[in-house]
Structure formats: structure tokens, C-alpha cells
Chain A
Amino acid sequence: MSVPMDSIYQQIILDHYKNPHHHGLIEEFDAEVHHVNPTCGDEVTLRVRLADGAIADLGWDGDGCSISQASTSVMADLVVGKPVAEAMALQERFLELMQSQGNAELTEGDEDVLEDAVAFEGVSKYPARVKCALLGWMAMKSAVVESDRQEETA
């Protein structure tokens, strides 16, 4: 069963929802965060481990709507193994895309760096769902900040 071309439920989103990546909490981690989205009641718990200025590993567990769960899965694929600075730049770009209210002009460069995450473009037209798409990304950002803070105080 397929969905219309202009559906926000692109096949990529449905695939990640049904088979989420980096799903499950990792044993060794520098920080753990728990974020919720009150509109849908979405929840995500996320752990990261940093090494040599990069995101060495990330694992998450969650519950909620397909947009939140699929977006967290896509985000995890994109940032694991990336230098922290690059992951933060991706987070910024994805945030901009989500805040575009459906008027984002995606370049080929965007598609190269955001990969599967461009499938969420359609979500930006629905203010009520933008928070769902951002949930995992925001959790990743706070977990990285939290790890950095712990390193400084350590």
C-alpha cells in the first residue's frame, strides 16, 4: 500500500519507523538525556559516547508517533562517527529546514549532507508536527552538550 507523492509519510519515513536504526540503549556512554514532546506525548531516551571530538556511538529508545521515531533513527545514522562540530552543523541545518513552513529551497548540497533527513521536508508545513521531527535531534544536541560539560568538570 503506497501513500500519495506529496504525503508527509514518505516511504523512507515509514521504513525507519518500522525498522529504526541505532535503536536500543548503549552500555558505555558519557551522557543520557530524556526528552518529551507534549503534543503527541512522544518520548525519547538517548545516550552518547564521545571520543576524539567525535560522536563515537549513540543509542536510543523511544515511544511515540512515526515522525518522532523515524526522525530519531535518521538522525542517529547521520551523526554516528561524525565530528561533533559537523553533527552540530547538521542539527542546525535540519532545524532550519523544519522551521521553513514548507518554503525550504533544498539544494543538492543539502541532499548530500542531510541524506534521508530531507524526507522530512513535508513535515515543515505542519507546525503541530515540527516538534515531533525535532525531538531526537534536540535530544542529541543536549546529550552532546552534557557530555562536554562532564568532560570539563572531570
Chain B
Amino acid sequence: MPFDVEAVRKDFPILAREVHGVPLVYLDSANTSQKPQVVLDTLTDFYANHNANVARAVHTLGSEATNAFEAARGKLAAFVNAPDRNEIVFTKNSSEALNLVAYALSNAATTIGAERFRIGPGDEIVVTEMEHHSNLVPWQLLCQRTGATFRWLRIGDTGPDGGRLVEDEIDTVITERTRVVAFVHQSNALGTINPVSRLVARARAVGALTVVDASQSAPHLPLDVQALGADFVAFTGHKMYGPTGVGVLWGRYDLLAGLPPFLGGGEMIETVDMTGTTFAAPPHRFEAGTPMIAQAVGLGAAVDYLSALGMENVAAHEHALLEYALPRLAEVEGLRIIGPATAVDRGATISFTLAGVHPHDVAQLLDEGGIAVRAGHHCARPVCVRYGIPATTRASFGVYTTTEEIDALVAGVRRVGEVFR
């Protein structure tokens, strides 16, 4: 079945909106995606017809809510090809999923039976220079708590073929001292898709754990945690056409089963005594308190929606948009693409600068023409530092993006240049 973008657009009610009296051109899906009607309907149906707390109510609604929540877990497991549905931990977003791993690891320092996870002075944690702050700050904090050393893989040259990791340094930065390698699958600031298999192979060879931040890949390409080969994978619902307030940590079952909890509370225990507590098995060990029930169910509907479109088709559609957009943007006078300028190993998120115009002015003036893009450092400030710029303007595409919208963007950016020149 060919990908019918016009049919897809009809599934997203917000796309019928106007802003400033012109049709909305939404090019900020990397920030958060819009939601299809089926996700909105699922949320309403849950609250209208099945709402109850999960796992603790014996009544009918309680069973329906629990079944819907656990069915969503199964859908997410299938979506990322997880071998076991109990490897899917619901979190509030990617940031919490990544913090969960970092805190569980430092909690291991004082947990009997978790010795193999202990991290301390002399150990090293490796990230990359292109991480979102959510996959950077938790590891800096882990290093502060444990005395481990924080290291990173650098971004290579910043020219048209640049914006990629210095692969030659993988073997020198990831060493026998490395305990964790945490890296972004697809950069939200540059669009770069990182060489997962090389990174994972090196980490494996030195016995380090791997944590992949898939926030920007889960919505855009087929994600198979078994093929990635990593130990943990984090992603966030709101960027993949699901609700806000729900994210996922996938982890290998034996690792999850060996790790101590991050947050304590209801639902994560086996038995509680005033003198001590034992913990539930994964995934519940990591889901303290009443979870985001409706949102998880909504995310289940979102991945059903994506699977019906077919992730291969989604990826092909967005790749075609990227190939359409890159050369057209590059032709605009004064425009510099920040990130790889070719469509190789690259997602459909394009950061750029425009000579003489501040990115916030670019974004504001585009908004006056109905075009929504993001401006700033995109929570990846070290990327801007590496490029020697304060900020970028970023256009990012999704399942509903059209070539007409890219034409509108290119014309809009041209116009911005003329206004400020």
C-alpha cells in the first residue's frame, strides 16, 4: 500500500487549524508530535468507560483498566520487538527512563546482590557530545554520586559532511574502565543517526552496559531492540503521536531483575515490613505509585496507528521529504545547515542558521506566516558550542509532513532573509 499523506493528514484534527489567519504548517514534530484522532478517542473512551486504578481494584472497572494498561505494555513490546513484555517499563518520559537507569545503578552501590552493577572511582561513563541534556546530565550526576569519571565521544568536523561522531576515537574512549556507554540513536539537534552497531560492539567487548536514547528514532524508523543489541533503550510517547506523560524504558530482563529500584512506593513491592521491604519483579519494581494509565493506553493506540501505516513506509516517506528539503534549503542565501548536509544516515530533522538573523527572529517571523519551527539550543547546548553558534532554527518532519509544507518553509526562510537584509 503506498503511503497516502493526504489520508494521514485527515487523521490529525489540529492540522485543519489556522494560525495568524493562514493554515498551520507544523514543522516541530521533534519537539512534540501532533496526535491522531484515534489516540484522542482512546483517551476519552478510557476515561468515559473504563476508568479505575490498576492492579489493586478487584471490581469490573479495575479489571478492565488493568487489562487495558497491560495490553498497552504488550503493544509496546511488539512495537520494538522486545522478547518479553515484562521488559517494558512505563515511565513519564525519556528523561525519567534515563534517570531510572542512572539512579538504579548508583543505588546498586548499597544493595546486597547487586555488586556487579557497582560503579565507583576509576570507572568511566561515556556519552557523546551530541546528547540531549536528558542523556547527559543524569550521567554527570551519576559520576558525581559515585566518583566515576565522565567521558565523551566528540563530534567531528562541522562542515557539510560533518556533524558525526569521530569514529576513530570509539576504541580509545571506550576502554576496559568504561562501565556504561550512553548515546543518542538519532540526534535531535543535528539529525545524525549514530553507528549503533559499532558502539554496541565496542561496549560489549569491554563489558560495558549500553543505553540508547531512541527518543528521536522510535517515531521515525523501525526500532528493533534485539537488532540494536543494546542493554537499555529509552523513548518518549509524546514524540511518537502518543500523549504526554508517558515514556518507555526497555531493558534486558536479567539486567532489570538484578537492579535495585529507583523510586519507592505502592505497586513496586513484594512485601513490606517496618523492618524492611522486598521488591516486585520487573517491570513493576520500577513503576512506583499509580502509573499514567490512560496515557499508556493512548500510547498503545499510537503504536497501533504507526504499525498500521508501517514503520518502513513512515521511514521511506520521511526520507523522501529529507531528500527534497536538504538541497532546497541549502540554496537559500546565507543559510547554513547545522548537521550532515546529505541524506545519508540522517533523519528528517534539519537545523540551520541564517546569516545576520538570530534564530529566534527566524522562528518568530515564520510563525507570523503560520509555520511552526523551533529555535534555541534544543536542549543540546554542547552541540551549539561545538559549532560556535548560540542557537539554531530547526524544522522537523513527521508522518503528516508534505513537500508543499517544505516549499512554504523555503519561501518563508527566503522572506525572513529579505526582511532583515
Interface residues of chain A, those whose CB is within 8 Å of chain B, are 1, 3-4, 6-9, 14, 17-18, 39-41, 64-67, 126, 128-129, 132
Contacts and interface: CB of A to CB of B under 8 A. Distances in A.
Contact of A65 (B20, B361, B368, B419): B361
B415 A1 contact: yes
Nearest to B389: A41
Contacts of B419: 1, 3, 9, 14
Contact of A9 (B365, B390, B391): B365
B324 interface: no
A128 B357 CA distance: 17
Contacts of B415: 1
A129 B360 contact: yes
A40 B359 CA distance: 8
Given A1-B415, A1-B418, A65-B360, 4 more contacts: A3-B368, A14-B419, A14-B420, A64-B390
B414 to A, nearest CB: 10
Contacts of A1: 415, 418-419
A40 B86 CA distance: 43
Contact of A40 (B360, B365, B420): B360
Given A3-B419, A4-B368, A17-B420, A66 B390 contact: no
A8 B420 contact: no
Interface residues of B, number: 16
Interface in B179-200: none
Contacts of A129: 360, 364
B336 interface: no
B358 interface: yes
| SS class, residues of chain B in contact with chain A | helix
Contacts of A66: 357-358, 361, 420
Main secondary structure of the interface of A (DSSP, over half): loop
A14 to B, nearest CB: 7
B384 to A, nearest CB: 9
A68 to B, nearest CB: 8
A3 B361 CA distance: 13
Contacts of A64: 358, 390
Contacts of A6: 20
Interface in B327-374: 357-358, 360-361, 364-365, 368
Contacts of B361: 9, 65-67
B218 to A, nearest CB: 28
Interface string B376-409: 1100000000000011000000000000000000
B364 A8 contact: yes
A7 B364 CA distance: 9
A103 to B, nearest CB: 18
A57 B418 CA distance: 34
Contacts of B360: 39-40, 65, 67, 128-129, 132
Contacts of B376: 39
A6 to B, nearest CB: 8
A60 B281 CA distance: 63
Given A9-B419, A65-B360, A66-B420, A41 B390 contact: yes
Contacts of B420: 14, 17-18, 66
Residue of A4, A6, A39, A41 contacting most chain B CB atoms (<10 Å) = A41
A101 B390 CA distance: 27
A139 to B, nearest CB: 18
Contacts of B418: 1
Nearest to B384: A41
27 contacts: A1-B415, A1-B418, A3-B368, A3-B419, A4-B368, A7-B365, A8-B368, A9-B361, A9-B364, A9-B368, A9-B419, A14-B419, A17-B420, A40-B360, A40-B390, A40-B391, A41-B391, A64-B358, A64-B390, A65-B360, A66-B358, A66-B361, A66-B420, A67-B361, A129-B360, A129-B364, A132-B360
Contacts of A3: 365, 368, 419
Contacts of A40: 358, 360, 390-391
A39 B415 CA distance: 24
Contacts of B364: 8-9, 126, 129
Contacts of B391: 40-41
A49 B362 CA distance: 36
Contacts of A65: 358, 360-361
A108 to B, nearest CB: 28
Nearest to B391: A41
